[in-house]
Structure 1
Amino acid sequence: MSVRAIRGAVQVEADEREQVLDATRELVEEVIRANALSLDDFISVLFTSTHDLVSEFPAVAARELGMGDVPLMCARELEIDGSMPRVVRLMAHVETRLARAEVRHVYLRGAQALRRDIAQ
């Protein structure tokens, strides 16, 4: 068993609480599905959001999915000129038998443009 980091991001249409929660749930669920994970495999998850998303903490969505005992943290993404707006990103640390090259990073709803090199 190895510890691996999984990256992901999702773009939200508008800064509305339910949209942030729905998009974040979709992102977390797809990371789980794409990497054949269970909730017990998660060590921790760091969420970031761009400065234009202030209606809710992305970690709330993860808690709603059953990650209440997983350490979760939210932070603000750097404000870089020309960067994509309304984006929630995650970096999840998990225990898995997957080799590093087998890990599937998940980019949804337009966020594929952020990392075309690793987006699935």
Structure 2
Amino acid sequence: MRAIRGATTIEHNTAEEIYAATKELFEEILTQNGITDSEQLTSVIITVTEDIFAAFPAKAVRETSGFEYVPVMGMQEIPVPNALSMCIRFMVFTDLHKPLADINHVYLRGAKVLRPDLVKEEDA
């Protein structure tokens, strides 16, 4: 089993932005890691910073065609002073059999500052 990390940010605490950013991040994680079937996933954990509360990001994963039955859990990040705000983070558990170095972690939008060492050129 492997875990794939990812994060993105939104500008406004609205359901529309939360769903759009979550969908974009989830689809990019799937694409960059060659995941085409929900059977390849074990579960997904999504966390949000305390300034995101207009909607549950997990809804965007559940509404992704073919991934409706993947177990998804949403949680709130601990409010660390000066941490990146308006941030949605993912931990996708999968049965991929790849070396850790071959897993593509995805950081989009303002979340690129979290792990610049893992940001791919096409995401920059």
Global fold match (TM > 0.5)? yes
1:26 corresponds to which of 18, 21, 24: 24
State the shift of 1:14 in Å. 0.5
RMSD of equivalent CA atoms: 1.0
For 1:10-49, list aligned pairs within 5 A. Answer: 10-38=8-36, 39-49=38-48
Separation in 1, partners of 2:72, 2:80: 24
Alpha-carbon distance in structure 2 between the residues aligned to 1:32 and 1:10: 15
DSSP-derived class of the 1:24 partner? helix
Residue 62 of structure 2 corresponds to 63
- 1:27-76 Cα deviation digits (max 9, x unpaired): 00000000000222110000000000001111000001032211110000
Regions of 4+ moved over 2 Å: 117-120
Aligned length: 118
Which structure has more strand as a fraction of its residues? 1
1:78-117 aligned at under 5 Å gives the runs: 78-117=78-117
Q: Percent identity?
A: 36
CA distance in 1, matches of 2:104, 2:40: 15
Equivalent-residue separation in structure 1 for 2:104 and 2:117 (angstroms)? 12
TM-score (norm 1): 0.94
Q: AA paired with 1:116?
A: P
Superposition deviation, residue 115 in structure 1: 1.4
